[in-house]
Amino acid sequence: MRTFSRINAFGSPQVFLLKKQLLEPDGETWFKALLPIRPNGTTGFVLGRDLRLSTTPYRLVVDRRSFRLRLYRGCSLARTYPVGIGTGTTPTPVGEFYLTSLTKLPDPGTVYGPYAYGLSGFSDVLKTWKFGGIIGLHGTNDPSSIGRRSSHGCIRLFNRDIRALVKILPLGTPIEIH
């Protein structure tokens, strides 16, 4: 049993990626949801009346071999972006995740760039990192880090690309990393 507040640790509304709807004989609706906790891939059940449902036409796919992030709108590929990913000792985890938070950073000249999305996934090796090793999708002040293994597990984008994504991607957007 786990309780989630309506606001997460980053100050964003708590969101879940809903996987399946279940209707109980008593008329209650439950949803199987991907949860933003360790271990990655943990699911649980959330009572439908406790949720506000929304959808997005977008989804993201990260291909670690090609250092590419693909943005899909529905079934159509909308755009491809080059990315930097985790190193051999701090790899970007593989799996199904979703965007859980968005932070506009006060200084876009940092390693995180102007914006950082928090993901529902966690590093498999960094456990004492701030917020427990949450993986992010963010910009960077080091454009040379794009297209190679350069991060502590996060997915880095050129600043212009993260700015473009922030304009369209809501929290809850699914992101598959393989």
Confirm whether 154 is a catalytic residue: yes
CATH of the domain at 173: 2.40.440.10
Q: Which residues contact 38 (CB under 8 A, 6 or more apart)?
A: 122, 132
Tell me if 114 is assigned to some domain.
Answer: yes
CA 130, distance to chain mean position in Å, is 16
Is 14 part of a structural domain of the chain?
no
Q: Would residue 138 show up in a list of annotated catalytic residues for this protein?
A: yes
- Domain around 116: 58-177
| 5 within a domain of the structure (yes/no) | no
User: Of 75, 138, 152, 178, which residue is the catalytic one?
Assistant: 138
156 is a domain residue: yes
93-112 b/e with 16+ CB inside 10 Å = b? Answer: bebbbbbbbbbeeeebeebb
CA distance 92 to 77: 23
Q: Over the stretch 84-94, which tens digit does the pLDDT of each residue have?
A: 999 999 999 99
Structural domains in the chain (count) = 1
Q: Which residue out of 75, 152, 154, 178 is catalytically annotated?
A: 154
Model pLDDT, residue 132: 86
Give the DSSP per-residue string, 19-53: EEEEE-TTS-EEEEEE-SSSSTT-EEEEEGGG---
Q: What is the pLDDT of residues 131-174, one digit of tens each?
A: 789 999 999 999 999 999 999 999 999 999 999 999 999 999 99
Q: pTM, whole model, 2 decimals?
A: 0.96
